[in-house]
Structure 1
Amino acid sequence: MHTTLEMSEKVFGIYGKSDTGKTTLIIDIVKNLTKEGFNIASIKITNKKIGIDTKGKDTWKHAEAGSKLIVFSSPIETNFIFKKSKDLSEIIKIINQINKYDLILVEGANDKHIPKIRIGNIEERENTIFTYSGNLKEVIEFLKTKFLGGKNDNKS
C-alpha cells in the first residue's frame, strides 16, 4: 500500500528521459550542498527491470536460497539488497531510520506528492516546480531556501 509522503519530509525529485542530464544534475547538487556542510541522501529510481546484484556472486546465492534481504558489507561500503521492489515512501522511511539527512534527492521521481524538477522534453508530471535549463545556481538557492532553511550554520 502506498502512503502519502508528509510535506515535512525534505524530499525533492528530478525526472527526465534517458541521457538528459539527471545524474549530472544530482551529482552537481550533492557536491554543492555537501561542500556547504549539508547531509544529503540520494535515490535512483528506474523503470528498467535491472538489479545491482551479480549472478553467481555470494549475495546472489543468498537470494537464490531464499533470503529476502541480503546485506553486503566490506571495509569500504555496505549495501542492502531487498529482493522485492519498494515504493518511494517505504524507501524514505528506511533511509530516515538509518540516519538523519537534510535532504533526500530522488532521480527518476514519479511520486505525485513530491516537488520535482523536469529535465528536457518530457511530459510534465504533477508537482513539477520548474524545468531545468542549466541554471544550477538557481536550483541550489531554491533547495536551500525552500528545503534547507537558507544557509547552513553547521558547516565544519
Structure 2
Amino acid sequence: MKIFGVTGWKNSGKTGLMERLVANITARGLRVSTVKHAHHGFDIDQPGRDSFRHREAGAEQVLLVSSSRWALMTELREVPEPTLEEMLDQITPVDLVLVEGFKRDRHPKIEAQRIETGQPLIAPEDETIRAIATNRPDIASDALSGRPAFDLDATDAIAEFILKEVGLA
C-alpha cells in the first residue's frame, strides 16, 4: 500500500482537500482508504444505542455489523494510543491510504494552509512535506525550498502530484 498524508494546522482545509482527493483518485479507478487522527475525546457512537451500552459496560471491542457496513470500535482503556504504523496494519490493502493529521510522523505529506488561519507554514521545518496547497498567492519559493505550491482548490493537479510521488501515476 502506498501512503501519503495531508497535514496542516486546525481549519487549514485538510478535510476538504482529503474529501476532494478521495473522490478524484477513486474516479481514476484506484482504491483509496483514509486514516484520520482525531483528538482524544471523539466518539463515533451515540449514548443509548446498544453498541454504546456494550462499550460503557466494559467491552474492549464492539463490532457493529449491518448489510451496508461494519465498524469495529476498540476502547484503549489506559493503553497508549497506537502508532500510525500499527493502525495501517489494520487496514485492508488498497492502492493508496491518505492520512489526515499525524503531522509528526515521517510519511510524505502535502501541507494545507489557509491565509485566514494566520498560522505559519510547517514545511520549512519539515522535510516530509513534499508540497503546499494554499490560498496564499504570496508564498515565497525560498520558504518552500523548491517544493511546489498548488492552489488549495487545484484538486486535479494535487492528485496528479500525489500519484506521481507514490508511483501510481
> What interval of TM-score do these two structures reach, taking the shorter chain for normalisation?
0.7 to 0.9
Percent identity between the two aligned chains: 26
Give the structure 2 partner of residue 78 of structure 1: 70
Q: Is the 8 A contact 2:4 2:99 kept in 1?
A: yes
Whether 1:40 and 2:38 are equivalent positions in the alignment is no
Q: Structure 2: any 5+ residue segments left out of the alignment?
A: 114-118, 135-151
Task: Look up the match of 1:128.
Answer: 129
Contact 2:8 2:103 (8 Å CA) reproduced: no
Q: Aligned pair 1:109/2:102, yes or no?
A: yes
Relative contact order, higher structure (CA 8 A, sep 6+): 1
TM-score using structure 1 length: 0.80
Could you say what the CA RMSD is over the residues aligned between the two structures, in angstroms?
A: 1.8
TM-score, scaled to structure 2 = 0.74
For residues 86 and 94 of structure 1, what CA distance do their matches in structure 2 show?
11
Do the aligned residues in 1 keep the contact of 2:8 with 2:122 (CA within 8 Å)?
A: no
In the alignment, residue 147 of structure 1 is paired with which amino acid?
V
Unaligned 5+ runs, structure 1? 1-8, 151-156
Deviations 1:3-29 (A, max 9, x none): xxxxxx511111223332211111111
Structure label with greater radius of gyration: 2
Q: Does 1:94 align with 2:113?
A: no
- Residue in structure 1 matched with residue 111 of structure 2 by the alignment: 118
Contact 1:109 1:116 in 2 (8 A): no
Residue aligning to 1:11:
3
The aligned amino acid for 1:67 is A
Count of aligned pairs: 139
**Corresponding residue to 2:160 among 124, 130, 141:** 141
- CA displacement at 1:48 relative to structure 2: 4.6
Change (3 A) 1:37 1:93: same
Q: Distance in 2 between the 1:122 and 1:93 partners?
A: 33
